Amino acid sequence: MPPIAVTPLEDQENVSELTAHGIEHALEKSAPSQLKSASLSNSITQLPATKSQHDTPTPLAELDASLLQTTYTTSPRPVPAIGSPEMASQRVCTDHMIQAKWTSSTGWEAPTLQPYGPLSLMPTASCLHYATECFEGMKLYRGHDSKLRLFRPSLNCARMLVSTNRIALPGFPPDELLKLIVKLCATDGAKWLPKERAGSFLYIRPTMIASDPALGVQRPSEALLFVILTCFAPMDDLKGGMKLLASKDDMIRAWPGGFGYAKVGANYGPSLVAQGEARALGYHQILWLFGEECFVTEAGASNFFVVWRTREGKVQLVTACLTEQIVLDGVTRRSVLALAKERLAAGHEDLEAVEVVERKFSMAEVVEAIDEGRLIEAFGAGTAWFVAPVGLIHFRGKDYTVPMGDDGESGKYAKVLKDWLKGIMWGTNGQESHEWGYVVDEE
């Protein structure tokens, strides 16, 4: 297998001056060409995972989970009680973490499973200055059938490669990352997500950073991959649904040619001003709009869906398309779309048949649907917030109420989709052996 963790030789030239020209040059050199031809909607499943973009004379070591070196902790820490402040703090990680180091001259070193603890980085490390960082967000679920499961983890590992490509971090075979994640979950799962905690989860955060101790604005020559598991309080449904504040035209999350499609840290820091304003005003998340037409893109770090009735009378499930690469290709988004196509196309129990549509749509269309009584429901979908019904959208000085179903807790389409996904994640409702549920064998 040819290694992909290579810095092409022609890219190794030093661009060390911190001048505009240097930065431009470095960015040009580090912009990957791999994604330019592949449409993002295909990239997760079709990105060549084991093929080098350039041939290279020196074989570099590939990331290889079978070389894992294990050092177990000698000071195991207590697991926070359910409902404790530690549990909700999102600061408590499990006993162990995965690490793997990469250099442009040797490739990937043997990965390690080691006690959880601080990283050692020089103050000049690239990631601290130039946002050479990307991550994934997944969950480890403790099923009601006692099994530990991941949900479609291969998609996250493939997306991580899309993200590393966008910011000139090294490639890796996504399957090797998956094996490392599974190993960490298998090691810490039994203690940190015990069988008595059926229905709860740990949050998994695979991360890659450029760790070069050199200030030059250049393609990284050293990187660190790590994976941690964090405790998370069980998520309560938001009473009355999620309240969204539509972004103003002076704050844009992502733009064509940018990097909104990649889970890179650079997308999130700059969104926190708007998010903080939204929270201060009593909203949960920003509804990110794009362009003069106010195209609807995402809600916070969740994809956004509406269910409306067209003027012709058809029920449609609509979400922003991925073609402009300003929307993240969410695993939950994909799963909602697939389940809706598979199980709602002909209707389900008292639910009318739904047509699934991925396209650009604008706030004007949403407002029109609300004003004409055609908006049936809206919801966000992502790993962190799961399927979150939306109760209200504030847009250009006006609050618009979004229908939340008969019980005022969730629209019916969001509810049925959420229940199906829950069944797959936690092994209930006859979904125990669905192909999207990846069972982790515990150690």
Hey, which bits of 220-372 come out as E strands?
222-231, 242-246, 285-290, 295-299, 302-309, 315-319, 355-358
Q: Which is nearer to ligand PLP, 51 or 359 (CB)?
A: 359
Q: Which is nearer to ligand PLP, 104 or 302 (CB)?
A: 302
Eight-state DSSP code of residue 31: S
Count CA atoms within 13 Å of residue 95 on its CB side.
19
Q: Which long-range contacts (CB under 8 A, 24 or more apart) does 337-342 make?
A: 339/417, 339/420, 339/421, 340/413, 340/417
Q: Which is nearer to ligand PLP, 22 or 137 (CB)?
A: 137
Q: Which is nearer to ligand PLP, 44 or 376 (CB)?
A: 44
Q: Which is nearer to ligand PLP, 128 or 203 (CB)?
A: 203
CA–CA separation, 152 and 138 (whole Å): 9
**Closest distance to ligand PLP from the beta carbon of 330 (Å):** 3
Q: What is the DSSP string of 61-119?
A: BPP-GGG-EE---SS--PPPPTT-HHHHHT--B-SEEEEEEEETTTEEPPPEEEE----
**Closest distance to ligand PLP from the beta carbon of 385 (Å):** 9
Q: Which residues lie below 8 Å from residue 99, measured CB to CB, with a gap of 6+?
A: 111, 112, 114, 224, 225, 226
CA–CA separation, 438 and 149 (whole Å): 5
Longest Cα–Cα distance of the chain, Å, equals 66
**Closest distance to ligand PLP from the beta carbon of 333 (Å):** 6
Q: Which is nearer to ligand PLP, 190 or 384 (CB)?
A: 384
**Closest distance to ligand PLP from the beta carbon of 152 (Å):** 9
CA–CA separation, 383 and 203 (whole Å): 9
Phi, psi dihedral angles at 194 (to 5 degrees): -65, 165
| Bridge partner list, 134 | 208, 264
**Closest distance to ligand PLP from the beta carbon of 160 (Å):** 11
**Closest distance to ligand PLP from the beta carbon of 440 (Å):** 19
**Closest distance to ligand PLP from the beta carbon of 89 (Å):** 21
Eight-state DSSP code of residue 234: P
**Closest distance to ligand PLP from the beta carbon of 196 (Å):** 27
**Orientation angle between helical segments 153-166 and 174-192, nearest 10 degrees:** 130
CA–CA separation, 159 and 183 (whole Å): 20
What does the binding site for ligand PLP look like in residue numbers (CB under 6 A)?
A: 137, 263, 298, 301-303, 328, 330-333, 382-383
Phi, psi dihedral angles at 63 (to 5 degrees): -65, 125
Q: Which is nearer to ligand PLP, 79 or 331 (CB)?
A: 331
Q: Which is nearer to ligand PLP, 108 or 288 (CB)?
A: 288
Q: Which is nearer to ligand PLP, 111 or 382 (CB)?
A: 382
Q: Which is nearer to ligand PLP, 200 or 302 (CB)?
A: 302
Contact 132, 64 (CB under 8 A): no
Eight-state DSSP code of residue 9: G
Taking alpha carbons only, the member of 191, 237, 210 closest to residue 76 is 191
| Residue 299 identity | A
**Closest distance to ligand PLP from the beta carbon of 259 (Å):** 11
b/e map 20-51, b = 16+ CB within 10 Å:
eebeebbeebbeeebbeeeebbebbeebebee
Q: Which is nearer to ligand PLP, 97 or 155 (CB)?
A: 155
**Closest distance to ligand PLP from the beta carbon of 400 (Å):** 22
**Closest distance to ligand PLP from the beta carbon of 286 (Å):** 11
